[in-house]
Structure 1
């Protein structure tokens, strides 16, 4: 996740594919939900495939907006901000 540049987002599925577990995007989400136990990672740069934010992460939107990420309603504008890895 440290490789995802500021102002860009990746999906849980993208991360799962990058680590060689393409069918395990939910596992990626679960691991990221506990990332604070393991260090300081930019987990705010990971959203679901449609740009929806994690419901349990209250500061998610504020952190993304601070990096210049735009929203369409409640979802990240994925066409503009998706990280192409």
Structure 2
């Protein structure tokens, strides 16, 4: 569809960032928003994930809240992260161990 190409630069950047999150690592909604140029755009990142994850085959399960928590208490997300080696305790993930920081120079 032609319409697919008409995403905003922010949306395109969010999709590109999410695609870079390696297996076994996580990023927060706010972290992705800031890297995409909108530090206050965490909710928009959530909307992009909700509407475009399947279409763009995004690793949606690797995006979590700024508190290190699985936002929707989703068993599917929890299991997907655990299969990648991420330790999930009480729906929480230790960001000091599992948070991914992309190399902006790459």
TM over 0.5: yes
Q: Where does residue 18 of structure 1 map in the other structure?
A: 35
Q: Where does residue 11 of structure 2 map in the other structure?
A: none
Q: Which runs of 5+ in 1 are unaligned?
A: none
Question: Any conservation in 1 of the 2:53–2:60 contact (CA below 8 Å)?
Answer: no
Q: What is the CA distance between 1:73 and its match in structure 2?
A: 2.1
Question: Any conservation in 2 of the 1:35–1:43 contact (CA below 8 Å)?
Answer: no
Which of 25-34 and 61-70 deviates more?
Answer: 25-34
- Pairwise mapping of residues 1-85 of structure 1 onto structure 2 (< 5 A)? 1-55=18-72, 57-85=74-102
Q: Which has the larger radius of gyration?
A: 2
Q: Would you tell me which structure has more helix in proportion to its own residues?
A: 2
Query: Moved runs in structure 1, 4+ residues, more than 6 A?
Result: none
Question: Any conservation in 1 of the 2:53–2:59 contact (CA below 8 Å)?
Answer: no
CA RMSD of aligned residues (A): 1.6
Question: Any conservation in 1 of the 2:73–2:91 contact (CA below 8 Å)?
Answer: no
Residue 56 of structure 2 aligns to a residue whose secondary structure is coil
Q: What is the CA distance between 1:37 and its match in structure 2?
A: 4.8
Q: What is the CA distance between 1:24 and its match in structure 2?
A: 0.8
Higher relative contact order (CA 8 A, sep 6+): 1
Question: Residues 14 and 57 (structure 1 numbering): CA distance in 2 closer, same or farther, change over 3 Å?
Answer: same
Q: Which runs of 5+ in 2 are unaligned?
A: 1-17
Count of paired positions: 85
